[in-house]
Structure formats: C-alpha cells, structure tokens
Structure 1
Amino acid sequence: MNIEAIKKVYFVGIGGIGMSALARFFKQRGVDVNGYDKTETDLTRTLVQEEIGVTYTDAESEMKKDVDVVIYTPAIPQDNVILNAYRRDNVPVFKRSDALQWITEAMYSITVAGTHGKTTVSTMIGHILRESGYGCNAFLGGISVNYNTNYWSSDNKVAVIEADEYDRSFLKLKPDVAVLTAMDADHLDIYGTAEAVQEAYIQYTENIKPDGILIKKHGLKNGNLLKGAHKKSYSLQNTGADAYADNIQIKNGGYIFDVKGKGIFITGIHLDIGGMHNVENCIAAITVAKQLEIEDDDIKAAVANFKGVKRRFEYIVKNEKVVYIDDYAHHPEELAALIKSAKTLFSKRRIVIAFQPHLYSRTRDFAAEFAHALDMADEVILLDIYPARELPIEGVDAQMIKNKMGNPNVTILSKEGLLSYVTNAPLDLFITAGAGDIDKLVAPIGEILAAK
C-alpha cells in the first residue's frame, strides 16, 4: 500500500496507544481521520481536540463513507459491528501492523522489539533524534513526558517504531535498524510455548533490510541464531558487549555514568530517571544514536533532558517524607527489575507495592514467578486480576499469587480498599504497578500522599 495515496482512513480501536499514534500520523499528513473506540479516555479526548473524529457507539450509523482504508487493532472483538460492516462493503481492511509495515517500507526505519524495555528504548531513541536535530517520526507505545504525546513528526523520512510482539504483529516490519531488548516468554495465550516466542524474535531479525543492522542485548539466550547483515550488542555493564555503562553513580534518584565500547567513549552521561534497567535502556538508545553518527555532545544533552515515559518508573510524588512511583510492569521480570531498582535507590525506605495482575492467562502461566518477584518487597497489596480481552479462568485469581509467596505481609484489596489503605497507612516508599486500570488510581493516590 502506498501511504501517499491514502486520503481518508477509519480506525477501529482508535483509542489504543499504538492506534492513536497512527491516527496522528495520518492526520498530520492532511488525511481525513475518524475512528471508533469503546470507551472515552484522556487519549481519545486529546484526539478530538486535534480534530480527529471519534465515536463511542458501535453502529453502522457511525461509519464514515468513501474511506480508502480501514485500520483495526487485534484487540477488537470479532463481533464489532463497524468493522464487519466495512468488510461486508468490501472496503480494504488492514491490521495496525500492516500500516506500520507500509511506513517501514517507505522510510528509514528503526524498530524496537523485546518482552520488556521497548517503550522506554523507543522513546529514548526518538527523543535523542528529536533533540539533536536529526529528526524522526516516532510511533510509541507510551506517552513521552517531555512532549506529552506518543507520536511526533519530522520532515526527515526516518521512523522510530515500537514493535509489538502480541499477535506476532511485529513480524510484518521491515527495519533498517532492529533493536532487540529481551526474548523472555510472554503472551503464551498466543504463542503456546517459550520456544515459539524465541522463534518469533529470531524471525523478527530475519526481516531486517539488506545491509541493515541488529542491535541486541548482550547475552540473549539463542542470540547466536539472530540474523542481520551487521550486529552490535549492548549491556548494562558486561565489558564483552559493543557498548556498556561504566562508573555508574546514583544521584537524586537518577544516574551519572560513562558509555564505553567499540568505537564509543562518552563520559558523564546524566540520566534523571530511576531504575538501573533504564541505564541499560539508555545504552541501547545511545548505540542507535552512534550508529546514526549523532554527535556525542548532542547525545549527552538529549539524555540529560529526558524526562521519561509515563508509567515507566514515573515519580508521582518525591519528597523527604514519601516517594511514590508508578510503573506499567506486568511481567515477572519487569516487576523484579522495578522492585530491585527501588530498593537500590531508596535502600533506607520500606517498600510497599500494590500490584494489579494483567490477564488470567498470564497470571496462570507466571504465578510462581510473580510471587518470587513480589517477595522482594516489604509489603504487598494485590488487586483483582484485570481481564482485558479475556474471560475468567476457573481457579485463577490474585489468591493464586498470594498462595505462592513466602512474604507473609500480603493483602488482597479492592480499589476502594487500596485508597483507604493509602490514606491511613504510614508509607515512605509506595509503588503501584500493572498494565490494567490501576492507572486510574494514580492521581487520587498521588493527592493523598502529597498531602501527608
């Protein structure tokens, strides 16, 4: 599909983080953009303010006529009235991944895949390219705190795209630079086995354009099977990687470090966001920037100005009395990295974490791993599982995680119960985590803690 030929587009599921970025891309290009989503959110309200038409009624009367293409997200139910009506009328219908494929074919493309870290790494890359003046079109899976958006444009025909492994959609992308952050098992409801997940990531690297480059985390299992005409590796501190951090210092909840490796030596990088895993994410982004021959001073200035991604180790409250961190962590490895980083940064504080499991299938598949990660906290509050696209599975609930924990300080609460707990409990380091609707509690919890 030639993206230049599209003049009128309709999005089914326009309020999704990835879909809304595409909607903004087409709107910026002068295309007539409309769409449907089930629920009004801050993001859909922002789209409306940007003169993108959004309806919340799934009915044929809400369809726009004479559209060139319809783009939908796999999260949309099969019985969606609008989507099925467009199919009945023989309007060209494509997945979100198809649209991203068109963009990777039309532009010099940098894609970021991996079980964890891809949102932060892609946002960091986009930020460095934007701040340095290099320029890019960024399609992100989170909201950049610097610019309060998940998309921005540039006259430079370069795209930075977060590559989503759900539904194998990332296998349609054709990158010039492919970044791979992790290959841990996830989405086993789709893939079935951990081996199938790894095979998909290997296939992702097979789609790198001729003479393209793979930038991968050092030490990945089966990393020797990954493809790419050229390859570079990065690591937090493994000196066997092509790029790694050295002389890491903690300062005011952030980090100062050097970047060393083959053909790279930058001193005094200042990253003002928490989480040691974010230092490693920054090494990945810097490796990409060096591949594009961006000057060291421009990289340093951009990283120093990077304010993070909403819901990625985001400081909601940070004062002498209490620190409140909110994070999107919904996989055991992410949860472990979150708690470990918080313990390192604030070693004298008592960690209380409220975690909302995401998906019945993920909870079933990783209950023991979630329990092991949560055991690192001093106290744990579990909310009910957020089902998202799934129906309940018998015997799978938050109690399943609690039963596998060694830490006795664990309680299952409702959302209302959590707000009451935060109001009354003596807290000095509090974390909320999860990919469901726990984010709706962040503002009220922040107000409660800031007022203490």
Structure 2
Amino acid sequence: MNVEKLLSWKGAGPGPLIYFIGIKGTGMCALAELLHNSGFSISGSDRDEVFYTDGILKELGIPYVESFAPEHVPAKADLVIYSAAYSAETNSEIAEAKKQGLPVLKYTDALGVYSAGFDSAGIAGVHGKTTTTAMAGTLIRGAGLPARILAGSAVAGFGGRSTLILGDKYFVAETCEYRRHFLSFHPHRIILTSVESDHQDYYPTYESIRDAFIEYAKLLPVNGELIYCADDPGACEVANSINKGRVKLIPYGFTASGNFKIVSYKAEAERSVMRIAAFPGELRLRVPGRHCALDAAAALALTDSLVRAESGSWTAEAQEGVRKALEDFRGSRRRSEVIGEAGGILFMDDYGHHPTAIKTTLEGLREFYPRRRLVLSFMSHTYTRTAALLDEFAASLEKADLVVLHKIYGSAREAYQGGVNGKTLYEKTKALRKGVYYEEEPLGAVELLKGLLKPGDLLLTMGAGDNWKLGKALFDHYSQEAPR
C-alpha cells in the first residue's frame, strides 16, 4: 500500500500501524490524534522532557517511549512519520526505519498527503497563522460545518488541544513557510495573512520568501480561492502575481474592497467591536488589537466560502452561531494568552518574535487596556533574524512603558558568525527611549521586576524563547502574597 492510499484508509477494526518519531511536538501530536480518530494504530517516541502534549497523548491512550533508540521502531510499522526537527543523521530511529526499508515521511510531507484526502484550506503568512486558524475552527464550528482543524498551538476553545474534529469533509490547517514546508500541502483555498522578510537563515532576501509564497499560491487549482490581507503589501504582491482568471481572489481588511472589508473598529470595555461589510450587525472579540480583527475577517471569509460550498447560503442560525463563537473565542496558547491576575497585576504571554508582530501586539494591548502600564519582557529569537532586523526590533518596543531585554534565544538550525547578541539590542533600544533594562537570563529579572511592578500593571512576556518562565515565576510569587 502506498502512503497516499494508506493515509486515506477508512475501515473497520485496527487500522495501519504508524510510528511517530518526535510525537510530542505540537503538529506531530495533532496529526497523530487525527489519525488515531480515524482508526489508525498509533505509537511513538520523544524526549523525556514534559510537554503539554503529554496529557493529550495519555488521554487518547497513544503509547510512546521517552527516548530514542533503534529497537523502538516497530518492524511491522506501515509508516514512520518523523518531526522536521530531526533527520537520519541526528536521530537513530529515523536511520533504523530507513535501514529496515520502512516507508518514512517527514511531518510536513505526511500532512500534505493527509490534506489530499479532503477539501483542504491552508492558513499561511509570516504573522497571524495560529490565531487565524484557531478563529477559523471556532467559526466553522459555530456555522455547523463538517471539518477537521489543525492549528499550530493549543487553543482554549479546542479543549486545550491544537485539533478540532467536527467531520470528515473539510480540512483546515496552519501551514508553515519555513524551508518551503507548505509546498507539500494540497490546498483548495489559502488564507494569506502577511508576507515580509523572515527566517533569514533560509530566506536571505524579501524576494526569496515572497517567491516561496507565490509558489504556494500557485498550487491552488482552477477556481481555487486565495483569501488575502489587502492591508499587507507582501500579501497583495503575491495576489497580484496570480492569474486572476484561474483563481478567485478574496481580499479582506481595513483597506479591502468587497464583502470582507472591515468597515468599523473600536475597542471598548476590553472588547474589540467591528463590522464587516457582508455580515449583518456587530462582531465582538475578547482578544485585543486590530491585527486580531484582521485575523477574524480572514477566518470569516474562509467560513463564508465553506458555508456556500456546503449549502449555498447562510442561515440566520449559522450567522448567530458564528457571532457567538467569535465573542467566546479566548485565543490560543502563547498568543496574548492571559496567565492570570495577582497582586493587581495582569500577567500575559505572547509568542511574537518579529518586529511587525511585536508592534501590532503592543499597539493592540495599549488600546485594549488604556489604564494599565505595559511592562514588557522580550527575548529575541535567532541571531540571524535579530541581526537582519535590529533597528526594526528596537523601534517595535515603543509602546511598552518599561522594557526588560534578555539574551538571544538561539536556534540549532542557524550557524551565525556575527557579533550581534542580546546586549546589542539593548544598547540599540536604550538609545531610542528610557525605561529599558537588561538581564541576560530571564529568571534573573525576577528581583528587578518585583521592584518595578505596581498594582494595575500588565506584565507581558514576549518571544519564541523561554522567558515565559519569568512571567510564571512572578505570577506565582504575587499569587502567594495574595491575602487568603
């Protein structure tokens, strides 16, 4: 059985045996859950470090070992899927599977094969993929559509998982541009949130990353749909490169024309309130920022496309279901995630690690919480990105009242030989503004922030690194201080 037929298997009894190497990864665990739900026999391996996915795998009853060794690979496995974080050169289990002649697929390739079995939609862009995917799943559920959703992080409304299983007709997945991984996907629809320079270790110029998104958009079939952000120059450039007679272009945003133009937006009483041209009445969001309003418009455009494909038109019940679902949306893990409030201080965590995402997130929080002082802990991710966008990083921190910077959170995938480090960003930022501090290790800033934080503040830990531990440590400290 070839892998295309294998991953589209539907039958009774125990299904084909698939072994996952790196099964605790967010995407790997999600794909394992989707296949487990379809009746496949799933097992796997990973490191012994505890992840949030440990609980999901145990709840599903999926067995896994917490080490890598050649003898773990089942000789009778019908397919081996491995995380893109590993290779046969670095992982003995991948090498063993190939030695045994077992079918072996990288996660992104397996996701692509899986997507071919559905009417699939890929969510892409440098920023906003995870939130848009999470919102799309939330609205699709509100509209009552038979779909499966795979987001790039745990979503509160998905029961703390990154998957939502509502049926077997449509598949919506977050798709990643790094190393052109999304070119394995088989989209009938694509949401394109943004295109700009990023992943400089792989895409040295803006043009190189733009061309990858163009290549992805050109995978759309005749009469496929590209739902793109009209407010983003890079997304517009990609849309303008597509043969307009072949693919339907659907713009969304504040400057868009057509059905998904955001015609009004305001923040009031810790809600974002917006109107979209083709949707009746107001839509309300609990998550802050105009960037989240854009994500909501994109998710609504995709939901609209699926509603029309499924039944031809909206019902009043589906419209109300979508409206309620959007206001109930609480975000996803590490995306403006509220950790809690203690000592009068609101603690939040966010994955933003690109200057544009940082700027829009801080602006959104400033607008959403106008009476709170915004205190930021930021940890830059990758030396190449920091070096390439150093001035942009320093300028992006403007909206925070106080900023604590840390060392750069490096990546094993880069071989940077330059001289930029965390203190370089600190000096650059300090030259632009006051209220900037530096602590090499995030947890080293605990005492500093105890002296800086006041009741009414918002402490935001931001970045793709591990400075979220700083926010947790401080939240725990102030929680213990609270009167009992």
Q: In the TM superposition, what is the alpha-carbon distance from 1:60 to its structure 2 partner?
A: 1.3
Kept in 1: contact 2:252–2:261 (CA 8 A): yes
Deviations 1:358-381 (A, max 9, x none): 122222222221111113322111
Kept in 2: contact 1:179–1:216 (CA 8 A): yes
TM-score (norm 1): 0.93
CA distance in 1, matches of 2:55, 2:416: 31
Return 110-119 or 93-102, whichever deviates more.
Answer: 93-102
2:34 corresponds to which residue?
25
CA distance in 2, matches of 1:242, 1:131: 20
Kept in 2: contact 1:354–1:432 (CA 8 A): yes
Alignment of 1:333 onto 2:333: no
Residue 178 to residue 90, structure 1, CA distance change in 2 (3 Å): same
1:230 corresponds to which residue?
248
2:310 corresponds to which residue?
none
CA distance in 2, matches of 1:320, 1:250: 25
CA distance in 2, matches of 1:339, 1:4: 43
Aligned partner of 2:477 among 430, 438, 448: 448
Return 29-38 or 324-333, whichever deviates more.
Answer: 29-38
Kept in 1: contact 2:342–2:478 (CA 8 A): no
Alignment of 1:396 onto 2:420: yes
Amino acid at match of 2:247: A
Q: Give the SS at the match of 2:282.
A: strand
CA distance in 1, matches of 2:212, 2:93: 31
1:244 corresponds to which residue?
261
Alignment of 1:408 onto 2:434: yes
2:176 corresponds to which residue?
164
2:204 corresponds to which residue?
192
1:59 corresponds to which residue?
69
CA distance in 1, matches of 2:275, 2:341: 26
Kept in 2: contact 1:97–1:172 (CA 8 A): yes
CA distance in 1, matches of 2:390, 2:443: 24
Q: In the TM superposition, what is the alpha-carbon distance from 1:174 to its structure 2 partner?
A: 1.5
Q: Give the SS at the match of 1:189.
A: coil
1:274 corresponds to which residue?
288
Residue 170 to residue 361, structure 1, CA distance change in 2 (3 Å): same
Q: In the TM superposition, what is the alpha-carbon distance from 1:189 to its structure 2 partner?
A: 0.7
Deviations 1:253-302 (A, max 9, x none): 22122111xxx132121111122210111011111112223532222121
Kept in 2: contact 1:9–1:68 (CA 8 A): yes
Residue 363 to residue 59, structure 1, CA distance change in 2 (3 Å): same
Kept in 2: contact 1:175–1:207 (CA 8 A): yes
Aligned partner of 1:354 among 370, 377, 380: 377
CA distance in 2, matches of 1:96, 1:181: 23
Deviations 1:26-72 (A, max 9, x none): 11122121222233322134313321122221211222221111112
1:418 corresponds to which residue?
445
Alignment of 1:297 onto 2:320: yes
CA distance in 2, matches of 1:277, 1:239: 14
Aligned partner of 1:143 among 136, 151, 154: 154
Alignment of 1:381 onto 2:410: no
CA distance in 2, matches of 1:14, 1:407: 44
Alignment of 1:122 onto 2:133: yes
Kept in 2: contact 1:275–1:313 (CA 8 A): no
Q: In the TM superposition, what is the alpha-carbon distance from 1:320 to its structure 2 partner?
A: 9.5
Deviations 1:112-132 (A, max 9, x none): 000000101111111111233
Aligned partner of 1:284 among 298, 307, 316: 298
Alignment of 1:370 onto 2:384: no
Alignment of 1:310 onto 2:319: no
Kept in 2: contact 1:60–1:82 (CA 8 A): yes
Q: In the TM superposition, what is the alpha-carbon distance from 1:8 to its structure 2 partner?
A: 0.9
Deviations 1:217-248 (A, max 9, x none): 0043323113552110001x225354122332
Q: Give the SS at the match of 1:106.
A: coil
Q: In the TM superposition, what is the alpha-carbon distance from 1:449 to its structure 2 partner?
A: 4.2
CA distance in 2, matches of 1:312, 1:358: 16
Residue 395 to residue 128, structure 1, CA distance change in 2 (3 Å): same
2:229 corresponds to which residue?
217
Residue 375 to residue 447, structure 1, CA distance change in 2 (3 Å): same
Deviations 1:121-177 (A, max 9, x none): 111111111233213111110111112110122333210100111121101211111
CA distance in 2, matches of 1:55, 1:442: 31
Residue correspondences, number: 448
Kept in 1: contact 2:341–2:347 (CA 8 A): yes
CA distance in 2, matches of 1:124, 1:274: 14
Q: How does 1:7-22 map to 2 (within 5 A)?
A: 7-22=16-31
What is the aligned-residue RMSD (CA, Å)? 2.0
Alignment of 1:432 onto 2:461: yes
CA distance in 1, matches of 2:114, 2:166: 13
TM-score (norm 2): 0.87
Q: In the TM superposition, what is the alpha-carbon distance from 1:395 to its structure 2 partner?
A: 1.9
Kept in 2: contact 1:218–1:241 (CA 8 A): no
Aligned partner of 1:100 among 111, 123, 130: 111
Residue 130 to residue 189, structure 1, CA distance change in 2 (3 Å): same
Return 65-74 or 392-401, whichever deviates more.
Answer: 392-401
Amino acid at match of 2:251: S
